[in-house]
Amino acid sequence: MSTAGNNINCVVQLGRYGDIINILPLLRHIHTHHGTPVLMVSSQFSDLLEGVSYVQPWVVDLDYSEILQAVRLAEDRYERVVVSQIWGAGYHHPDRGSSYTRDSWQRAGFGHLFDNDLLLPVFDRRVMDRELGLIKALVGPESGVDYLVVQVTRSASSPYANGERVLAMIRAEAAECGIKVVDIASYNAPRLFDFLGLLAAARMIVTIDTAILHLAAACPDTPCLAIINSRPWYGSEPRGKAWQRARYQDSVEDIRTTFRLMLDQVAAPQRTAASG
């Protein structure tokens, strides 16, 4: 398998949503400099690629865990295959680094670009009607509502034991500032990337280690508190700039302190306007 950008025919990343979003910047980099890559993706997660123009999806009816079978299929069809997926049944990733997110780039041959702040996920096929409909459904029809977007209670791969307690804390603190809390944990948008408009217009995002954390990196101007899995290697390394980080192992009070500092900053314009 070759890892040189100009030799890549196919990238194998069956899923999940967050893992695919994690590698979108390197896929766009390949597209820009070497031509549009084929991305082999499980049908479970292929709808995410409706939001991007810079990959050619190869949708397969495999579970995202069936990475060894996926690689065999890819190598039968393409001469040069790169595998960015770092987990699967029967596969054990050697030489683990600081995080699976970084290792995914490293395995694909682009580890040297992981810390480039300019390489963020881009969704260039957004559907604005759906985004506006989602905002109206979750925030309300009135314009100018100040709100936070929160997802701290639901994660398939990194469940968070303190989610309900942290959500209650966020609601109480935000209420004191007159800011609405929009909890999206149980809301299923038509497509995951339909949340982008909601995230971009929010005063702040609070998310645990889940797909929304990776999606939030596509809205770099929105401050984000990322609560990261404490387990070594399993915690994501967020790509956003205006971010603060906490860990699953942190106490609710410690997270409250960080959240309150961020909330005071994002609520300051509202308070200034109200006092004026």
pLDDT at 2: 37
Tokens read off for 179: 């800011």
Q: Which residues pair with 243 in a beta bridge?
A: 224
pLDDT digits (tens, 9 = 90+) for 76-123: 999 999 999 999 998 877 778 899 999 999 999 999 999 999 999 999
pLDDT of residue 49 exceeding 70, the answer is yes
pLDDT score of 3 = 42
One domain, residues 142 and 105: no
Mean pLDDT to the nearest integer, 6-20: 89
What pLDDT is recorded for position 187? 96
Residue 67: its pLDDT value, please?
96
For residue 30, is it within any domain? yes
Cross-strand partners of 245: 226
Residue 242: pLDDT band with limits 50, 70, 90: low
Q: Strands, DSSP E only, in the chain?
A: 10-12, 38-42, 56-60, 81-83, 147-151, 180-183, 204-208, 224-228, 243-247
pLDDT of residue 143: 86
- 3-state class percentages of the chain: helix first, strand second, coil last, to nearest 5: 40, 15, 40
Domain count, the chain: 2
Q: What pLDDT shows up at residue 207?
A: 97
The closest alpha carbon to 198, from 166, 150, 261, 268, belongs to: 150
In a domain, 121, yes or no: no
Domain span at 29: 5-113
Could you tell me if 263 and 133 lie in one domain?
Answer: yes
- The last residue of a domain, from among 82, 113, 144: 113
- Model pLDDT, residue 171: 98
What's the pLDDT score for residue 150? 98
